[in-house]
Amino acid sequence: MGSHLSLVPYGSSLSIISTANPAALAGAGEGVNDPENMKIQLRLAEIQNLFGRPSLQDYCFAEFWNPDKNIWETQSGERSPSPEPAYDKMGRRTNTRDLRVRERLVRERRALLERLMKLQPGLAQSIRLPKERLSVKLYIPQKEFPDYPFFGLIIGPR
């Protein structure tokens, strides 16, 4: 019986893989006993369970995959200091600990799935990762050059 693994809150567009059977993750049986594959699969299952929690404020990362350094890391029991609170236009806080942990888990999950696809090329066809949305903030000197059509140059012709 296959179960559908949903690693993100409802409404997200990330497509997910089935993990009812660990051998299903391993492709056609290749590398099932590989310790690195098993470690990745266990961490993916742990991330799945964490997304089911209502709150992640008290969660402490024991061992995790650091996508920036491409290594497994362990963290001491100390938490890093929280950044200054940031609020959106509606007055809601946008950088709570819960949101920061969830964003970190989404990044870690994506990196682990990419690593698993490299270790098991046969698995890459069954996992569909959406492309990451990158954004760039542009400074537009509208006050210095009020007559220049910046918006038209950025958007382009119809």
Tell me the three-class secondary structure of 89-152, residue by residue: CCCCECCCHHHHHHHHHHHHHHHHHHHHHHHCHHHHHCCCCCCCCCCCCCCCCCCCCCCCCHHH
Domain ranges of the chain: 22-155
Is this structure's pTM higher than 0.75?
no
User: Could you tell me how far CA 10 lies from the centroid of its own chain?
Assistant: 15
How would DSSP label each residue in 60-85?
A: --SEEEETTTTEEEE--SPPPPPPPP
User: What per-residue confidence (pLDDT) applies to 30?
Assistant: 55
For position 144, what pLDDT does the model report?
92
Res 64: pLDDT: 80
- pLDDT reported for residue 22: 47
What pLDDT is recorded for position 70?
77
List, run by run, the mean pLDDT of 10-residue segments along the chain (158 residues): 46 43 47 80 90 80 78 75 86 88 89 87 75 80 90 82
